[in-house]
Amino acid sequence: MANIFKRDATIHEFDWENLGDIKAGREDLGEDMPVLVYRLMQFTMLDILTKDFGPDKANEYFRRAGFLAGSEFAKHVLDLSVDFNAFLADLTKALADNKIGILRMEAIDPDTGNLVLTVGQDLDCSGLPITNETVCNYDEGFISGILNAYTGKKYDVREIDCWASGDRVCRFNVSVE
């Protein structure tokens, strides 16, 4: 495992192994943590990035981080060798098991590969105050990264409905680039 704390400051590469042995390290507290703590980390990070770089750049960084996380999640948690229906079932189960959200496919265009997906009880936004905006930029990248790892294709994922926009699920248009 690479030393994640004493590297060249210009080189920061994510490595799944750097997540460590969570079960061994948290034998009393376990692997779960409250959504409050996750959101506290995420929203304070977004606040700092927005102040330093502006909202568009901050959201871009969150999409890029989500893409990397989704790619790694897919490679280490999902079976990438199965057909699409089995993959979707595996993904749905993995998202629920990891308490990320409840995935549903609303539509698929078999000719283009474009999808409409919803995620209910989303880790990032369910229960947020209504601000009439979509806020799940990280999730856009996460979904894109998962699908890229599975298909090898690039996807543009855009949230069109969100808890923060007044909906009760996050809805994503997913299109092959």
The residues that bridge with 14 in the sheet, in sequence order, are none
Higher pLDDT, 77 or 5: 77
User: Residue 155 burial (CB < 10 Å; 0-12/13-18/19+)?
Assistant: buried
Is residue 9 scored above 80 in pLDDT?
no
Say whether pLDDT at 170 is over 90.
Answer: yes
DSSP letter for 168, please.
Answer: S
Q: Is the pLDDT of residue 160 over 60?
A: yes
pLDDT at 7: 54
Contacts of 124 (CB under 8 A, 6+ apart): 39, 42, 135, 136, 138, 139, 170
Chain centroid to CA 75: 14
Tell whether the torsion through CA atoms of 25, 31, 34 and 40 is positive or negative. Answer: positive
Rounded Cα distance, 18 and 164, in Å: 33
122-151 residue pLDDT tens: 999 999 999 999 999 999 999 999 999 999
Residue 158 identity: R
Task: Report DSSP state, residue 25.
Answer: H
Is this model's pTM higher than 0.75 or not?
yes
**For 57-61, what is the mean pLDDT?**
97
Q: Which domains does the chain have, with CATH numbers?
A: 16-176 (3.30.1380.20)
Q: 3-state secondary structure string, 33-83?
A: CCHHHHHHHHHHHHHHHHHHHCHHHHHHHHHHHHHHHHHHHHHHHCCCCCC
